[in-house]
């Protein structure tokens, strides 16, 4: 059994009996997500208990068992407007269970050890979007087009702005709502699901100079061919103005 200090939201691994506590680390006015990936060496699932406020009931998060670590992450959304603390624990009665996790937002994790944390250039080129990849940019006031591409069913990533999140999903079979958990029901209105049944999803993004972050929420095996692109549309609008 281990107890982890988690104020920086870094990647860590939980096994049965382990706990992790982020005390005062969540940023006020920002929407955060706790990312949970099943990393067991077998098909053992895991049940986690998330405590985010002493006056509120804990939330039970299920991380399904997978074949060879495949599948989607389970996501727990929590706002810094509601709390700046969050703790996660795995009970002792789960032999073989193992989960890798970290805290994501436009500012977290502040310790990116183990993450591929890199700038997403608005060059229109496809860039690899593998597991534990966090792309960030601060797009200027203009219009941009984002693109997500993967040949794997139910490939998922999350786009964060300060107060909202968009779950981008390609090769969508069903809405993955069973993988989403919320500290409060009002947060459901702050999380949009953007789906495509094809291998490519495109969307428009209006920049305002504030940070935007994209984080992969799919297993290592299902992320080998995934990619993301951001294209500035400023030149197109200039042609319209001219």
- How many angstroms separate the CA atoms of 168 and 145, rounded? 13
Reading the block at residue 130, the tokens are 């593998």
Task: Give residue limits of the domains in the chain.
Answer: 3-241
Q: Are 199 and 151 in contact (CB under 8 A)?
A: yes
Residue 237 has a pLDDT of 56
Q: Are 223 and 131 in contact (CB under 8 A)?
A: yes
Q: Are strands 143-149 and 165-170 parallel, antiparallel or unpaired?
A: unpaired
Residue 178 has a pLDDT of 82
Residue 173 has a pLDDT of 76
Residue 223 has a pLDDT of 66
Residue 26 has a pLDDT of 96
- How many angstroms separate the CA atoms of 119 and 17, rounded? 37
| pLDDT less than 70: residues of the chain | 67-71, 219-223, 235-242
Residue 139 has a pLDDT of 94
Residue 220 has a pLDDT of 58
Q: Are 90 and 47 in contact (CB under 8 A)?
A: yes
pTM over 0.85: yes
Residue 131 has a pLDDT of 85
What secondary structure, in 3-state letters, does the chain show? CCEEECCCCCCEEEECCCEEEEECCCCCCCEEEEEEEECCCCCCCEEEEEECCCCCCCEEEEECCCCCCCCECEEEEEECCCCCEEEEEECCCCCCCEEEEEEECCCCCCCCCCCEEEECCCECCCEECCCCEEEEECCCCCEEEEEEECCCCCEEEEEECCCCEEEEEECCCCCCHHHEEECCHHHHHHEEEEECCCCEEEEEEECCCCCEEEEECECCHHHCCCEEEEEECHHHHHHHHC
């Amino acid at each position: 059994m281990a107890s982890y200090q988690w104020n920086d939201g870094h990647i860590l691994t939980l096994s049965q009996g382990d706990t992790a506590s982020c005390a005062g680390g969540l940023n006020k006015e920002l929407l955060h997500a706790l990312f949970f990936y099943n990393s067991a060496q077998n098909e053992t699932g895991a049940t986690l208990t998330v405590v985010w406020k002493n006056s509120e009931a804990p939330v039970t998060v299920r991380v399904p068992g997978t074949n060879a670590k495949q599948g989607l992450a389970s996501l727990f959304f929590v706002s810094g407007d509601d709390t700046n603390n969050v703790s996660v624990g795995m009970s002792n009665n789960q032999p073989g269970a193992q989960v890798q996790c970290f805290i994501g937002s436009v500012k977290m994790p502040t310790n990116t050890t183990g993450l591929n944390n890199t700038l997403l250039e608005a060059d229109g080129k496809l860039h690899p979007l593998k597991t534990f990849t966090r792309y960030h940019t601060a797009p200027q006031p203009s219009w941009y087009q984002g693109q997500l591409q993967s040949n794997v069913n139910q490939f998922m990533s999350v786009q964060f702005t300060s107060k909202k999140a968009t779950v981008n999903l390609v090769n969508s079979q069903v809405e993955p709502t069973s993988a989403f958990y919320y500290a409060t029901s009002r947060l459901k209105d702050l999380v949009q699901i953007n789906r495509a049944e094809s291998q490519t999803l495109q969307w428009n993004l209006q920049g305002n100079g504030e940070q935007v972050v994209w984080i992969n929420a799919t297993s290592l095996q299902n992320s080998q061919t995934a990619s993301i692109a951001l294209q500035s549309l400023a030149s197109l609008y200039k042609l319209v103005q001219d």
